[in-house]
Structure 1
Amino acid sequence: MFKISEFSKLSQVPAKTLRFYDQIELLKPAYTDQQSGYRYYKSEQLLDLHRILAFKELGFTLEQIKQLLKDNVSTVEMRGMLRLKQAELHSLIQSKMERLRQIEVRLEQIERQSDGLSQYEVVVKKVEPLLVATLKETTSRASIPGLFEEIDEYLKWDNIPLPVTHMVMRHGCPECESNIDLEIACPIPRKLQDTARFRTVELPGLTVAAVTHISRPDVDTPVSIDLGSWIEENGYQISPEMPSREVYLSTKEGDKLRYVTESQMPILGVGCM
């Protein structure tokens, strides 16, 4: 058997950690001298220690690891647990990436304001009725690029030439917290076969206050601040029935994540009645 100092050297795990694992009954020494309190370990316990370290590296807590070792889980059970851990980590990464994108947008907004750049130019225009294929889902903005890909596959299946213009309409969802009722739409030349997931509808014509800018579909844009200020200052009202639209015209050259975008807010008021 090995003294704790020797076992620590063999395993490259600090003696302090080994003592802690003993205290929480995660890895007990093979023998403890009752008079001196010295801990002794057998070489085969290196395998248990390596398993503990491997589980820890995968993100399991010490309590979870203790249960795993105690229950001696099967390969099938282990595979299921690892898939759950994989999904958990994917969700965490997506959440962190979304927060990072939000920070980047806010930094751009601060830099634009500090540089004294003028507000976006707002135009009022008529939007004609438009035949579109649509896909509705209650989700977060981070899912929009994936929804673009999904509707593109549907259009490709119906022999609609790509690329197409993508449109996002926000129907709101007051009780959904981070999720919103989104409708993804693409203009189409003819009516397509409806499915459980996709529909063909005709969007009504309307009058909008519009701003053209560069944005990412998966992140909120501060352009709404300038658009709201302009609508208020010029005596217009936002139409309560019609959802706002973001029309993603084309990707920015050299940057597939950013689009030339037209944000459209349906309005009522001066010259619109």
Structure 2
Amino acid sequence: MFKISEFSKLSQVPAKTLRFYDQLELLKPAYTDQQSGYRYYTSEQLLHLHRILAFKDLGFTLEQIKQLLKDNVSIAEIRGMLRLKQAEMHSLIQSETERLRRIEFRLEQIERQSDGLSRYEVVVKKVEPLMVATLKATTSRASIPGLFEEIDEYLTWNGISLPVTHMVMWHGCPECESSIDVEIACPIPRKLQDTARFQTKLLPEMTVASVTHMSRPDADTPVSIDLGAWIEENGYRISPEMPSREVYISPQESNKLRYVTESQMPILGAGFMQ
């Protein structure tokens, strides 16, 4: 038998790691002296340790490795776990390839611009499903603050505390002066009673290109033009199935008409469900 220090040298695995594997019952010593607490290992345990290291190199967690090394685990179960890990790694490579492409575009953008700075920083992210109260209207952009007030009254009547985040979903042209099809939405913690004017719905998950900026809900902003250019230059497509959104997060302290705003454009492209 080998003392833990000797087994550590043979295996090139730190003694601290071996003690940790013992605590996890991943690799228990062949013998532990009850009086001194010294751990002893056999040469055969090097094979078990090397299997642990091999699975760890493949990216499995220690808990997953425990499952893989069980005496009663079947070949089919091992194959299934390896295929799951394979799919996970493919997804990670795809995601990192997309990230690399965005970095390369950002570098090219800096080279093209004299001041080295982009007007807006674009982020690609997934937006989780969200329960909202909504109000649809065909109106002008100047009427949007009034629609915010109307939906706030509805929420207050239903016992929802204010302030809330307001969202505008564009079903029509946001740059048009009149007859814009918009849907005002506010996140809610529970389903509310629908009326002829208001509805509760669950917004689906989607992938968006997102920009945070300052804007007024009653005035047009050029950010959509910049966002559209970024989407095209980065090889994405605007999703035809989902409306773009503007999320008015909070009003500016010095000017309550201006909001910290997140513009979200739903996109399709490499690495995303289409």
Q: Same fold (TM over 0.5)?
A: yes
What count of residue pairs does the alignment treat as equivalent? 160
AA matched with 1:246: E
Which residues of 2 match residues 6-155 of structure 1 at below 5 A?
118-155=118-155
The 4+ residue runs of structure 1 with deviation greater than 2 A are 113-119
Q: Secondary structure at the match of 1:232?
A: helix
Rounded to whole Å, the distance in 1 between the matches of 2:254 and 2:192 is 33
Which residue does 2:224 correspond to in 1? 224
Q: Label 1:121 to 1:180 Cα distance change in 2 as closer, same or farther (>3 A).
A: same
Unpaired segments of 5 or more residues in structure 1?
Answer: 1-112
Matched-pair identity in %: 83
TM-score norm. by structure 2 comes to: 0.56
User: Once the 2 structures are TM-superposed, how far is the Cα of residue 118 of structure 1 from its aligned partner?
Assistant: 2.3
Which residue does 1:249 correspond to in 2? 249
Q: Is the 8 A contact 2:141 2:177 kept in 1?
A: no
Which residues of 2 match residues 149-168 of structure 1 at below 5 A?
149-168=149-168
Rounded to whole Å, the distance in 2 between the matches of 1:162 and 1:177 is 30
Q: Secondary structure at the match of 1:195?
A: coil
Is residue 2:238 matched to residue 1:238?
yes
AA matched with 1:138: T
Q: Secondary structure at the match of 2:256?
A: strand
Rounded to whole Å, the distance in 2 between the matches of 1:165 and 1:177 is 24
User: Once the 2 structures are TM-superposed, how far is the Cα of residue 253 of structure 1 from its aligned partner?
Assistant: 1.4
User: Once the 2 structures are TM-superposed, how far is the Cα of residue 115 of structure 1 from its aligned partner?
Assistant: 8.4
Q: Secondary structure at the match of 1:213?
A: strand
Rounded to whole Å, the distance in 1 between the matches of 2:237 and 2:262 is 19
AA matched with 2:263: S
CA offset digits 1:32-69 (Å, max 9, x no partner): xxxxxxxxxxxxxxxxxxxxxxxxxxxxxxxxxxxxxx
AA matched with 1:194: D
TM-score norm. by structure 1 comes to: 0.56
Is residue 2:262 matched to residue 1:262?
yes
Rounded to whole Å, the distance in 2 between the matches of 1:190 and 1:200 is 9
Which residue does 2:210 correspond to in 1? 210
AA matched with 1:272: F
Q: Label 1:259 to 1:173 Cα distance change in 2 as closer, same or farther (>3 A).
A: closer
User: Once the 2 structures are TM-superposed, how far is the Cα of residue 229 of structure 1 from its aligned partner?
Assistant: 1.1
